[in-house]
């Protein structure tokens, strides 16, 4: 099965922040899961480089827009490398290969009769790159997101006939599973119910953008240009292809993962543009929540922005991935609390999972001649741990494929907890004192090690590094084309040489602000 997943194309007005990392980590996890399920994944990310916001930022730094974009784009790429983001495509909207796709898209939409010249008057937020609805009596309206004054605009623009697609969009958004999570669907339904208004897709006298063919002085509105980036991503070699051919290159997207603030663009404007261009629609749009820090919105003025680079060097990849993926229900807002973060990592990763591996390997080394115990596989086939695990694995595969990442993480932890409980109940350290119990102890230790191996495998899409560290100590390598094979009970080899265990996750300490 083909599986195309996208992050938003991030604005390059500033270096990446925790919000960009959050979406990208989630998409990385989902992509890794689908690859292990044997699907043909195209994971798209990239940057959105045109528009007034970027132009102004470059000017304020005395750089040309291109110079500025190159600097920030490199920061994104470096960051994704640091975090092991397994993207397949990285789109830049200033890439030469993007322009012809935007142009052909426009020409088809124009030929469908969906473009006309009109007058656009209204209050514009450069931060959002969007016209805002404001109460008519406010003289100096403010953007509620950026907390900055809106700018009055009155210009001749090209318009897209969004209103023509009212009933098709209504139908689309009412479809079960198109907008996820369900809680976000209402908001879009209410917006659409008010009646869709045509929107402008060009700007005049804004040189930092792609020129509209046939309309001198007009450049494409940054959102029109950026959304089409998802299509350019599917033609990485810049071949001369028709939009229709993109269908054999991975279009439509299986899911667009975005923040809740840009849901309207993805669930309403973009599908209408695609219908007009005669292209199939994405199967799903997932709007995740916003992250705050210690109860406060993050912002430069508050000086409380969490820098993903610093976080990485302070706490490492696994810890941050686990906290963001497990503790924040994907789809809901979340609050980054450092104290909670440290406690969670120490409990879940160092104690529940790390100690389980450590103590079980130590026992195996001590009692079974530095090896994994020898057992008869038939005797453990119907082991109670196996029965519990196979149900959890089934649920995990369902929750991962429905983007319930935090539930999936919880399920992994449940297995480690069950294995710990099992060990504590069986007390092999007491039983081993009597030689007659050696066989039973061998089975107990083997089964707990096996459960730990499965924890290591299931962690792979979420925490690839920790997964490798766990599996390396058990001398197991995931079959990354058929991972269901790796999830089968009883694959840990008996009489496998074990080395002295190394803690897979160091305990964290709360560190002072840097």
Residues in contact with ligand MSP by CB under 6 A are: 8-11, 19-20, 22-23, 48, 226-227, 229, 258-259, 261-262, 290-291, 298
Alpha helices by DSSP H, listed for 300-383, are 308-315, 317-322, 338-344, 356-367, 377-380
Least Cβ distance, residue 13 to ligand MSP (angstroms) = 8
Q: Which one, 214 or 280, has the nearer CB to ligand MSP?
A: 280
Closest to ligand MSP by CB, 117 vs 145, is 145
- Rounded distance between C-alpha atoms, residue 463 and residue 104, angstroms: 41
Considering the complex, what minimum distance in angstroms separates the CB of residue 230 from ligand MSP?
A: 7
- DSSP strand pairing (115-125 vs 89-92): unpaired
Supply the DSSP symbol for 159. E
Q: Cα–Cα distance between 223 and 464 in angstroms, integer?
A: 34
Nearer to ligand MSP, 100 or 490 (CB): 100
Sign of CA dihedral 188, 120, 130, 164: positive
Provide the minimum distance between the beta carbon of 352 and ligand MSP in the complex, in angstroms, as a whole number: 28
For 95-130, b/e burial (b = at least 16 CB within 10 A) is beebbbbbbbbbebbbeeebbeeeebeebbbbbbbb
- Residue length of the chain: 514
Q: Which of 215/290 has CB closer to ligand MSP?
A: 290
Minimum CB separation of residue 309 from ligand MSP in Å reads 16
> What minimum distance in Å lies between the beta carbon of 273 and ligand MSP?
11
Work out how close the CB of 481 gets to ligand MSP at its nearest, in angstroms, rounded to a whole number.
32
Closest CB to ligand MSP among residues 298, 505: 298
Residue 190 CB, nearest approach to ligand MSP (Å): 20
Beta carbon nearer to ligand MSP, 253 or 349: 253
CA distance 311 to 307: 6
Main-chain phi, psi angles of 277, to 5 degrees: -85, 0
Q: Which is nearer to ligand MSP, 10 or 322 (CB)?
A: 10
From residue 421, alpha-carbon distances to 72, 371, 407, 414 in Å are 49, 23, 21, 10
Tell me the H-state helices in 277-355: 308-315, 317-322, 338-344
Give the residue from 359, 372, 499 showing the smallest Cα distance to 443: 372
321, with CB counted inside 10 A (0-12, 13-18, 19+), is buried
Q: Distance (Å, rounded) from C-alpha 420 to C-alpha 404? A: 25
By beta carbon distance, the residue nearest ligand MSP is 259
C-alpha distances in Å from residue 366, one per residue of 33, 148, 209:
36, 66, 67
Instruction: Please report how many Cα atoms fall inside a 13 Å half-sphere around the Cα of residue 330, on the Cβ side.
Output: 29
Looking at beta carbons only, is 229 or 428 nearer to ligand MSP? 229
Query: In angstroms, what is the minimal distance from the CB of 55 to ligand MSP?
Result: 14
CB of 92 to ligand MSP, least distance (A): 12
Minimum CB distance to ligand MSP, residue 168 (Å): 21
Which lies closer to ligand MSP via its Cβ, residue 146 or residue 431? 146
Closer to ligand MSP by Cβ: residue 125 or 400:
125
- Cβ closer to ligand MSP: 48 or 114? 48
Please list, in sequence order, all residues whose beta carbon lies within 8 angstroms of the beta carbon of residue 442, skipping any fewer than 6 positions away. Answer: 368, 373, 374, 375
CB of 209 vs ligand MSP, minimal distance in Å: 13
Q: Please state whether the peptide bond connecting residue 61 to the residue before it is cis, i.e. omega within 30 degrees of 0.
A: no
Give the residue from 188, 496, 237 showing the smallest Cα distance to 368: 496
Q: Which is nearer to ligand MSP, 258 or 375 (CB)?
A: 258
Backbone φ and ψ for 240, nearest 5 degrees, come out as -85, 90
Instruction: Give the Å distances, CA to CA, from 217 to 99, 206, 438.
Output: 16, 8, 84
CB of 292 to ligand MSP, least distance (A): 7
Q: For ligand MSP, give the closer residue by CB, 321 or 397.
A: 321
Distances from the Cα of 445 to the Cα of 16, 103, 393, 418, 450, angstroms = 45, 64, 21, 14, 8
d(CA 506, CA 147): 41
Determine if the peptide bond prior to 252 is cis (ω within 30°): yes
Q: Whole-number minimum distance, CB 213 to ligand MSP, in Å?
A: 21
């Amino acid at each position: 099965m083909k599986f195309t997943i996208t992050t938003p194309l991030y604005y390059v007005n500033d270096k990446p922040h925790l919000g960009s990392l959050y979406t990208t980590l989630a998409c990385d996890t989902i992509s890794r899961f689908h690859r292990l399920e044997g699907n043909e994944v195209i994971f798209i990310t990239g940057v959105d480089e045109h528009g007034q916001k970027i132009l102004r930022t470059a000017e304020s730094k005395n750089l040309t827009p291109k110079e500025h974009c190159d600097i920030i784009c490199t920061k994104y790429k470096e960051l994704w490398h640091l975090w092991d983001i397994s993207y397949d495509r990285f789109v830049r909207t200033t890439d030469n290969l993007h322009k012809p796709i935007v142009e052909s898209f426009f020409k088809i939409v124009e030929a469908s009769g969906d473009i006309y010249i009109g007058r656009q008057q209204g209050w514009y937020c450069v931060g959002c790159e969007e016209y805002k609805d404001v109460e008519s009596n406010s003289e100096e309206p403010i953007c509620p997101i950026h907390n900055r004054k809106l700018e009055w605009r009155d210009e001749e623009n090209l318009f897209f006939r969004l209103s023509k697609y009212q009933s098709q969009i209504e139908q689309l958004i009412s479809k079960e599973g198109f907008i996820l999570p369900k809680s976000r669907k209402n908001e879009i339904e209410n917006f659409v119910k008010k009646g869709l208004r045509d929107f402008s897709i060009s700007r005049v006298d804004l040189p930092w953008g792609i020129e509209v063919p046939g309309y001198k002085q007009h450049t494409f509105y940054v959102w029109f240009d950026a959304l089409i980036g998802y299509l350019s991503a599917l033609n990485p070699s810049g071949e001369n292809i028709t939009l229709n051919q993109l269908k054999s290159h991975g279009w439509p997207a299986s899911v667009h993962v975005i923040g809740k603030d840009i849901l309207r663009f993805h669930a309403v404007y973009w599908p209408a543009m695609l219908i007009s261009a005669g292209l199939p629609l994405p199967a799903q749009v997932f709007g995740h929540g916003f992250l705050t820090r210690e109860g406060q919105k993050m912002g430069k003025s508050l000086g409380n922005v969490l820098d993903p680079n610093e976080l990485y060097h302070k706490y490492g990849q696994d810890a941050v991935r686990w906290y963001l993926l497990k503790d924040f229900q994907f789809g809901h807002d979340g609050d980054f609390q450092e104290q909670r973060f440290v406690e969670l990592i120490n409990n879940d990763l160092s104690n529940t999972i790390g100690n389980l591996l450590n103590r079980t390997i130590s026992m195996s080394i001590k009692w079974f001649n530095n090896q994994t115990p020898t057992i008869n596989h038939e005797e453990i086939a119907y082991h109670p741990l196996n029965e519990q695990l196979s149900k959890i694995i089934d649920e995990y595969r369902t929750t991962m494929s429905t983007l319930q990442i935090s539930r999936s993480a919880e399920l992994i932890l449940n297995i480690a907890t069950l294995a710990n409980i099992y060990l504590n109940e069986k007390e092999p350290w007491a039983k081993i004192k009597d030689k007659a119990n050696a066989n039973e102890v061998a089975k107990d230790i083997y089964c707990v090690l096996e459960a730990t191996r499965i924890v290591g495998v299931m962690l792979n899409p979420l925490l690839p590094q920790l997964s490798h560290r766990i599996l390396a100590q058990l001398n197991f390598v995931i079959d990354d084309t058929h991972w269901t094979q790796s999830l089968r009970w009883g694959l840990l080899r008996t009489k496998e040489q074990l080395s002295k265990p190394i803690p897979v996750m160091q305990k964290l300490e709360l560190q002072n602000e840097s």
